[in-house]
Amino acid sequence: MKILFAVSTAEAACCEGLIDYLFIIAESFKRKGIAAEIMPLGFDNLTDTAVITFGESKLKNQFANIPLGSDLCEVSHSLFESICPLFFEGGTVVTAKLFGKADIDYNIDAIENNFSGVKIFHYSRGLITTIKILCKEQFSSAVTEVFSLYNKNIYADEDVDLSKRLLQLLSVRGKMLSVAESLTGGLVCSYIVDNAGASENFYEGIVCYSNKSKVNRVNVEGQTIKNYGAVSYQTAYEMAAGLLAVGDCDISIATTGIAGPDGATLSKPLGLTYIAIGTPQKVHIFKHIFTGNRAQVKRTTAQAAIFYAIKVLKDNSIDYQEITIT
């Protein structure tokens, strides 16, 4: 069996990142010994090949056509729903979205080998990993095994990105969010407002980059910064608590850290990050030392902050030491 993703130049141009995304998905098929290629439109009458087209493009012998929009997660969802019959007629597709756990090949292969009637694909973009479990039967024990193994890193059981899932949870729980960013410089807020309708559950975002701003805008004590520094457990705590104290939000996110290339000390290395998630019951502090250049540390921290907000909304007793981000 061969799977061919047939994409026109126009469709690739109108959906940013489509080709790269399909390449990542194709690689997940190849890991299972299934030939998968991306080719331009114009190839027809191919034998033993399931041809998948996208958007307005059509071929007379296509196996399926995938609608295109701005959301690549929706493309992925439609794609795997369409190809499931290639493996299991009448089968179902179960999705697990993970953050911070990309190296999962061995465990996934072991689960697939231990259970019949399943085919498991996975692919990663940065620290976001998507697992697609194609099941012959609706309730497969393999699904339980996957969700049990990766429960701490799973943020959704459908194909959705981090910020969209956060807004969904805020809406369901009737919560309002505020954000105070230092290290990430507005990136957390940017991810959130990429979603239409974010204002329903997003009250404000403050980039309190300087020490003076932290004191004046989110009520961090000057003595706290003097004693512990701007990059500290205590400062992150007070940033999140300061947002809650104003009374306009039910949950808060705060970030502070050292993105580099300068600013590190022996006790505070490059990549040191404190993320605070505040609720009226508790302010949770998550400490990490992320690797990469300045942009990578900022991006990882922003995504981790959204991930932790999701986990806290689901379980207010969470402890950062229970979660490993690799």
Domain annotation for the chain: domains and CATH numbers = 2-156 (no CATH), 162-322 (3.90.950.20)
The sign one gets for the Cα dihedral 193, 317, 95, 131 is positive
CA gap 130, 13 in Å, rounded: 24
- List the structure tokens of 195: 């979603």
pLDDT digits (tens, 9 = 90+) for 26-81: 999 999 999 999 988 766 556 788 999 998 877 878 899 999 877 899 999 999 99
Task: Count Cβ neighbours within 10 Å for each residue of 147-161 and write b for 16 or more, e otherwise.
Answer: eebbeebbbbeebbb
pLDDT at residue number 168: 98
CA gap 260, 254 in Å, rounded: 19
Q: Read off the pLDDT of residues 194-217 as tens digits, 9 standing for 90 and up.
A: 999 999 999 999 999 999 999 999
**pLDDT at position 264 over 80:** yes
| Residues belonging to the chain | 326
Number of H helices, E strands in the chain: 11, 13
Block residue for tokens 């608590």: 241
Task: Look up residue 47 and give its two tokens.
Answer: 């034998």
Amino acid at 12: A
Q: Is a pLDDT exceeding 90 seen at residue 11?
A: no
Distance CA 194, CA 123 (A): 23
What is the residue-averaged pLDDT of the chain? Answer: 93
Q: Mean pLDDT, to the nearest integer, of 116-145?
A: 94
Share of the chain above pLDDT 90, in %: 81
Instruction: Please tell me the distance from the alpha carbon of residue 163 to that of residue 176, in angstroms, as a whole number.
Output: 14
Q: What is the mean pLDDT of residues 255-283?
A: 96
Q: What is the value of pTM for the model shown?
A: 0.94
Instruction: Write out 197-209 in H/E/C secondary structure.
Output: CHHHCEEEEEECC
